[in-house]
Amino acid sequence: MSLGDNGAAGYQLSYSAAVVQKLRRLRAGLSDPDEVRKFTAALQIIITRLRSDPLVFGEHRHPLPNLQVTVRAAVVGRLFVRYAVHNHLPLVFALNFKLLGGGEP
């Protein structure tokens, strides 16, 4: 397990290898510099919010009580994120990112 202190934000945000790979694919699928800039900006907003106020950011989707998490989703620009917030610990798990309107190779 690789979990750093993840900065001074209130929640520790973690990404699985699959999510990192997905982000890399989404990023690689963008050729227009303006699209890359917007993607970066959206990702930074998402990351900042997931680390600071994930229960205010986005929208509740459904609880998974046996896993002790609540699943939420949010959209910033063209970037959609699905994430889980631990019910008892300050942990956020980024589950998936999707780019609206395609863009995935």
Partner 1 sequence: MTKLLAIVEPTEDGFRGYVPRLPGCEVRAATAEQAEADIQSAARTHLAAHKDGTNGFHPDKVVIVVVVKPPPPPPRQRGDGLDEIYNQMDDYFNPEHLELLLNWEEQQWFTFEEVMAELGFEATESATDETPQ
Coil, strand or helix at 52: helix
Contacts by 96-99 with C-beta closer than 8 Å and gap 24+?
Answer: 96/19, 96/22, 97/19, 97/22, 97/23, 97/26, 99/26, 99/29, 99/39
- Of 10, 31, 55, 61, which lies in the binding site for partner 1, with binding defined by CB under 8 A? 61
CB of 55 to partner 1, least distance (A): 14
Q: What residue ranges bind partner 1 (CB under 8 A)? A: 1-4, 6-7, 13-18, 20, 23-24, 27, 40-45, 47-49, 51, 57, 59, 61-64, 66-67, 69, 71, 73-77, 80, 82, 84, 91, 93, 95-96, 98, 100
